[in-house]
Chains A and B, each alone.
Chain A
Amino acid sequence: MRLTLNIWRQPDAASPGGMHTYELDGVSPEMSFLEMLDTLNEELTRRGEEPVAFDHDCREGICGACGMVINGQAHGPERTTACQLHMRHFSDGETIDVEPWRAAAFPVVKDLVVDRGAFDRVVGAGGYITVPTGSAPDAHATPVPKPAAETAFEHAECIGCGACVAACPNGSAMLFTSAKVNHLAALPQGAPERESRVLRMVEQMDEEGFGGCTLTGECATACPKGIPLFSISSMNREYLRAVRKGGEATD
């Protein structure tokens, strides 16, 4: 396959960036999108040019490290991560636009790499449970009802890749935050901090400069893990419940 790639190049956070065009030959349909970029980078290195920087880690679609907007869609045309997107979904001779996640809360570090530290701080604000240290508790020490386990797992699938924020026209992180909140709110282990968790995480989410939700549904469409749109409503329910209980964002 022969491709024309328009890729966002930006040397660092402070410098202005722009789209650069590259012609790439010898792409096989079996390659993943990242392998295609590897091929381009080998070529660029041979030519003595700076390779395109992009985040990646497991390349199995389970870590959430990779992420780029391909032809205007987060992770590209298939509902998966960029590492699991194969070139057979593109046609020979196609022109592909590749851009970094765009959000005020995700500043560009270099080329296609953005700083997703805002997500870590949202999780740090309450996306955990407090447990005593020591040996691991017995697996059956706290029984979890089957429906609760299902709900928790559905939301625990979130890998924090940031596609929801990238796809949202408002740069909102509601789907991400709701996945974390709903995951722990469903479990008995998450019960002690149930109220303060949602209040703190939403507070932190707003502080990070993410936008508000207008229910466009773009996030759930882009999510490679299929976190459903109604998760946002579930988080709103949790939030209202916490406010009703007189909870504050502190313990």
Chain B
Amino acid sequence: MAVSGLIMLLYLVVHMLANLKIFFGAADFNGYAHWLRTVGEPFLHHEWFLWSARLVLLAAVTAHAVSAYQLSRLDRAARPQRYVHRRRRASYATRTMRWGGVILGLFVVWHVLDLTTLTVNERAAPGRPYENVVATFSTWYGNTVYLAAMLALGLHVRHGFWSAAQTLGAGRARRDRVLKATANVLAAVLTLGFVSVPVGVMTGLVG
């Protein structure tokens, strides 16, 4: 869980920063998208870098989902009988890890169909990512799905980063506040960074 989660988290930071290029105009954003396909040439073949990254991410998502499934099954079996007296336990971010994770998984499928394969993006055309992004965020459902998913992402990262640190043995009494603060900052920066794109389109800043 921890290692695959951190791989995806690292990717998300890069992904979010790259997304911000949209505020510098179509040429900048589309140029970057084109460059991603040529990274490593001529040593690597065209798009090899991109596909390597995709494979690593696919492996990380799969490992994360499989371990989450196994952990959940183990945990449910370990507490077969619930307490009669129910009490709200742990923070919202902690309690929503499982279903929040499922929501994020579904969002990733939607996101790929929307902006990579362009299957569900009606006014999209290949090779024009800037225009495609604008097309997505010009629809109410595109915005709703995205904004909801980014809030779920923030919550997931908030508990996930700190937990990953504990799993990997990085938790110490004196470091706890730093780890918690890092988790909160990561969650906030990622959510705000990602959300800024649809907000930019909605406010006409990007278009």
Whether the Cβ atoms of B165 and A233 lie closer than 8 Å is: yes
Chain B residue with the shortest CB-CB distance to A238: B169
**Closest beta carbon of chain B to A150's beta carbon, Å:** 11
- With contacts defined as CB atoms under 8 Å apart, how many contacts are there between chain A and chain B in the complex? 107
Query: When the two chains form their complex, are residues A104 and B82 in contact, meaning their CB atoms are under 8 A apart?
Result: no
- Take A102-B81, A233-B171, A236-B169 as given contacts and tell me if A218 and B74 are in contact as well, using a CB distance cutoff of 8 Å: no
Q: Which residues of A contact B81 (CB under 8 A)?
A: 102
- Cβ B79 vs Cβ A72 within 8 A: no
Question: Looking across the interface, which residue of chain B has its beta carbon closest to that of A105?
Answer: B78
Q: In this assembly, does A250 line the interface, its C-beta being within 8 Å of a C-beta of chain B?
A: no
Name the interface residues of B136-164: CB closer than 8 Å to any CB of A.
Answer: 159, 162-163
CA distance A228 to B173 in the complex (A): 8
Please classify how large the interface on chain A is, using the bins under 10, 10 to 19, 20 to 34, 35 or more: 35 or more
Q: Is the CB of B84 within 8 A of A97?
A: yes
**Are the C-beta atoms of A170 and B168 separated by less than 8 Å?**
no
Q: Which residues of chain A are within 8 angstroms of B76 by Cβ–Cβ distance?
A: 211
CB distance from A118 to the nearest CB of B (A): 11
B75 and A233 within 8 A (CB): no
In the bound complex, how far is the Cα of B171 from the Cα of A210, in angstroms? 22
Query: B87 touching A214 by the CB < 8 A rule?
Result: no
Q: Are B85 and A216 in contact (CB under 8 A)?
A: no
Tell me the A residues contacting B by CB distance below 8 Å.
6, 8, 19, 69, 71-73, 97, 99, 102-105, 168-172, 209-218, 228-230, 232-234, 236-241
Interface residue stretch chosen among B37-45, B89-97, B110-118, B121-129: B89-97
Nearest CB in chain B: distance from A62 CB, A: 24
Could you tell me the distance in whole angstroms from the C-beta of B171 to the nearest C-beta in chain A? Answer: 3
Please determine whether A214 and B79 come into contact, CB atoms closer than 8 angstroms: no
Is B71 an interface residue, CB under 8 A from the partner? yes
Measured between beta carbons, the chain A residues less than 8 angstroms from B172 are 230, 233-234
CA distance in complex: A72, B76 (Å): 18
Give CA–CA (A230, B74) in the complex, Å.
22
From residue A75, how far is it (CB to closest CB) to chain B in Å? Answer: 13
Q: Which residues of B contact A171 (CB under 8 A)?
A: 75, 78-79
- Annotate B166-188 by CB proximity to A: 1 below 8 A, 0 otherwise: 11111111001000000000000
B204 within 8 A of A: no
Smallest CB-CB separation from A166: which chain B residue? B83
Verify if B77 is at the interface (C-beta below 8 Å from A).
yes
Q: Would you call B71 and A214 a contact (CB within 8 A)?
A: yes
Q: Smallest CB–CB gap between B89 and chain A, Å?
A: 6
Contacts of A239 in B (CB 8 A): 169
List 18 contacting pairs A-B, 8 Å CB cutoff, sorted by A: A8-B84, A72-B86, A169-B89, A170-B74, A212-B74, A214-B163, A215-B162, A228-B173, A229-B166, A229-B171, A230-B166, A230-B172, A232-B171, A233-B165, A233-B166, A236-B166, A236-B167, A236-B171
Chain B contacts for A169, CB-based, 8 A: 75, 79, 89-90
Q: Taking the nearest CB of chain B, how far is it from the CB of A231, in angstroms?
A: 9
Beta-carbon nearest neighbor of B74 in chain A: A212
B94 touches A234 (CB 8 A): no
Residues in B neighbouring A170, C-beta threshold 8 A: 74-75, 78-79
When C-beta atoms are compared, the residue in chain B nearest to A102 turns out to be B81
Please tell me if the beta carbons of A218 and B167 are within 8 angstroms of each other in the complex. no
In the complex, the answer to whether A216 meets B71 with C-beta atoms within 8 Å is: no
Q: How far is the CB of A88 from chain B (nearest CB, A)?
A: 21
- Taking A230-B173, A234-B171 as contacts, is the C-beta distance between A211 and B79 under 8 angstroms? yes
The 5 closest A-B pairs by CB, nearest first: A233-B171, A237-B169, A211-B78, A171-B78, A72-B87
Within the complex, the shortest CB–CB distance from B23 to chain A, in Å, comes to 36
Instruction: Say how far B77's CB is from chain A's closest CB, in angstroms.
Output: 6
Least Cβ distance of B28 to chain A in Å?
A: 40
Cα A168 to Cα B74 with chains together (Å): 13
Contacts of A6 in B (CB 8 A): 84
Q: Do A233 and B84 have beta carbons less than 8 Å apart?
A: no
A103 to B74, CA, bound (A): 12
Task: Indicate if the CB atoms of B78 and A215 lie closer than 8 Å.
Answer: no
Q: Once the chains bind, are B85 and A71 in contact (CB under 8 Å)?
A: yes
CB closest residue in chain B, given A170 = B75
A215 touching B163, Cβ below 8 Å = yes
Interface centre among B86, B166, B176 (most CB of A within 10 A): B166
For the complex, give the distance between the alpha carbons of A215 and B94 in Å.
Answer: 8
